[in-house]
Chains A and B, each alone.
With several copies, the nearest count.
Chain A
Amino acid sequence: MDLSPPVQFDLHRRMVRIRVFEEAAGRLAEANKLPGFLHLYVGEEAVAAGVCAALNDDDHITSTHRGHGHLVAKGGDFNRMMAELMGKSTGMCKGKGGSMHISDLSLGMLGANGIVGAGSPIAVGAAFANKYRGRGQVAVAFFGDGATNIGAFHEAANMACALHLPIVFACENNEYGEFTPRSATMAITDIVDRAAGYGMPGVIIDGMDVVAVHEATLEAVARARAGGGPSLIEAKTYRFYNHHGIQNLGLKYRPDDEVAQWKERDPIFTFEDRMIENGTMTRDRVDEIWAGLRGEIEVAIKFAEDSPLPTPDQILVDVYTSMTGAAQ
């Protein structure tokens, strides 16, 4: 591990922030306190954290239906995020977006997305603008293994390569799309096999190892900033909970021992063990960090609960920049 302790702390903190936020959201959902769908990122923290720690605030990311993880990793504010999940007017999207559309333009987070694969073309647009302005910004498109089967991903990957844009395609290969295993929906095992078809380099990394993710991203981002064009990173990872929510409600679609094996490789706990072993971190410090963030999330929940609901007169606001002349 060549990373300096501050970088290690940063990676760790980003992961714990995600875990704490997601576990809290999951509990609230189980208590029927969150409306709508909730796709939790638990288990995959190393990917968002490792990638986003390689980015600046003015770099852009596009996300997926599983989007809070990405926004937290990019620095998202607990209070306004939790308020959004509750549909409150103080939420990141004033209650209009919810879990599937959470976003924060000020952090370059161009939105979770309810349409699988649809974020990638938007990331290409951000990358184009970044190149156009020439200030060295990059864009990252997050997407799942399942998303690589959809046309929008393909068009985005090809266009980014054709136009030689500063972009990183970051695939979270968790081996499932909803309730269907990857093997039923593609004849290849590794998403990275698709990179050559666009003419970009691709690399497989252990998505449970935040250091590996981070180092691969640093390289891809450096290439992009230097005008070297797009790259694809495939992170092998796993979601610890159900496709949405926490518990499996319908039929069982993943073998118990598969789930158990992946959980043993928890990206946060294994990283903590490594840091403690290396002397970068102590168990006490780890506990303190968790406690601190758990405290923050309680504050956020309280903030969200105490926040007002949006009022019906807000329905027609923000469809357009101005309401003049719009249909009713």
Chain B
Amino acid sequence: MSEVRKLTYGGAFNEAVRQAMEADENIFCAGEDIGAFGGVFGTYLGLQAKFGAHRVVDTPISEQAIVGLGIGAAVTGLRPIVDLMFMDFICVAFDQIVNQAAKLKYMFGGEATMPLTITTGGGAGLSAAAQHSQSLEAILCHIPGLKVVYPSNPYDMKGLMTACIRENNPTIMVKHKRLLGMSAHVPEENYEIPLGKANIMRAGTDVTVIAYGRMANETLVAAEKLAADGIECEVIDPRTLQPLDTDSIVESARKTHKVLVVHEAVKFGGLGAEIASQIHELAFDYLDAPVARIGAPFSPVPFSPALEQHYLPDAASIEAGIRNLVQRS
């Protein structure tokens, strides 16, 4: 097994972009500091050197114009990848994302395609405080016209990023900042993971746990612990949050009769609410207990690690949540 090629999550992103750009001249990247510097997270490293400054473009600090650049170029035939450094900055470009990119095809009566990929770094855990740590994916998933992707590991990153770039609708690829260094096997050849297909990361019979991004990994840790006590969790990572793979989720719920949804985002109004509601609607009679949700408390992300570590769900709190659920009649 020493020959298994490993890549980090950030490296897998980089390779997906590189391979796509090699194959299609219409693809370009634009964003702040992504050119000469390779991006503040290093995810665009080496691309400008390889493809030139016309295809890997350093932009001004102008998030609205960055997304607009992508929209205008996409609707006139290119395949842009535009970067909004931190997910929190989506708020700065929100009009272009929500009122323009998401709706343009529809408003034009279908006479447009929008092969636009927006990449951004999400999630907390780096003491980056309230404006650099948010998980805003639920907001994006509420907007018809967008697709939202959130990989939990290097393998999925490469396959999903490839799918985003090939997609003809606007996609938002969220890279979890704390997963950037995660390393695992990633095939060198190009491959695509279809959008909208969940991944059953671990099969189990006692309880279904749905988690994405970094929380999928925390859930796997919790699941291993519980397995030692004979509790077998089925862990499902939706991978694509919009469109959501409702079928896979509901099927598992019907099998295990108990479901927990976990995310890093604030619980109130988070994606967990939608997932739980769909499960209740489609598998009510199979459930032994209401679908449980774990998410962050209703506050901005606090700066101090002493607070942030309790703010975020982790393997221990997920394990406790699962035990709690399993104990319910």
Contacts and interface: CB of A to CB of B under 8 A. Distances in A.
A and B touching (Cβ–Cβ under 8 A): yes
Interface of A: 35-37, 60, 62, 87-88, 91-98, 100-101, 103-106, 108, 110-111, 113-118, 120-130, 132-133, 139, 146-147, 149-152, 155-156, 158-159, 162-163, 177-180, 184-186, 250-251, 253, 309-312, 314-321, 324-328
A95 B75 contact: no
Majority secondary structure, A binding face: loop
Contacts of A152: 64-65, 68, 92, 95-96
Given A125-B70, A315-B311, A185 B38 contact: no
A87 B32 contact: no
A162 B109 contact: no
Contacts of A118: 68, 95-96, 99-100
Contact of B59 (A36, A159, A315): A159
A139 B328 CA distance: 58
25 contacts: A87-B303, A87-B307, A94-B109, A121-B67, A121-B68, A124-B65, A125-B69, A125-B73, A128-B72, A130-B76, A132-B73, A146-B61, A155-B64, A156-B68, A158-B60, A159-B60, A159-B66, A179-B40, A312-B307, A318-B106, A319-B144, A319-B145, A327-B242, A327-B244, A328-B297
Interface residues of B, number: 83
Interface of B: 28, 32-33, 35-38, 40, 42, 54, 57-78, 80, 88-89, 91-92, 95-96, 99-100, 104-113, 126-132, 144-145, 147, 168-169, 195-196, 242-245, 267-268, 297-300, 302-307, 310-311
Nearest to B103: A101
A106 B70 CA distance: 19
Nearest to B62: A155
A46 to B, nearest CB: 24
A96 B298 contact: no
Contacts of A326: 243, 298
A126 B73 contact: yes
Contacts of A130: 76
Contact of A125 (B36, B80, B111): B80
Contacts of B60: 146, 149-150, 155, 158-159, 162, 177, 185-186
A151 B91 CA distance: 13
A93 B28 CA distance: 29
Nearest to A112: B107
A179 B65 contact: no
B108 A121 contact: no
A304 to B, nearest CB: 12
Nearest to B309: A312
**Shortest beta-carbon contacts, A-B, top 3:** A125-B72, A121-B68, A87-B304
Contact of B33 (A88, A150, A162, A179): A179
B32 A178 contact: yes
Contacts of B109: 91-97, 318
B89 A115 contact: yes
A35 B127 contact: yes
A311 B42 CA distance: 35
A120 B68 contact: yes
Contacts of A117: 61
A327 B242 CA distance: 8
Contacts of A122: 68, 71-72, 75, 100
A284 B167 CA distance: 56
Contacts of A96: 106-109, 129-130, 300, 302-304, 307
B73 A310 contact: no
B307 A36 contact: no
Interface-central residue, B61, B66, B96, by most chain A CB under 10 Å: B61
A125 B35 CA distance: 18
A105 B64 CA distance: 22
A115 B307 contact: no
Given A97-B303, A118-B100, A36 B57 contact: no
Contact of B169 (A139, A178, A321): A321
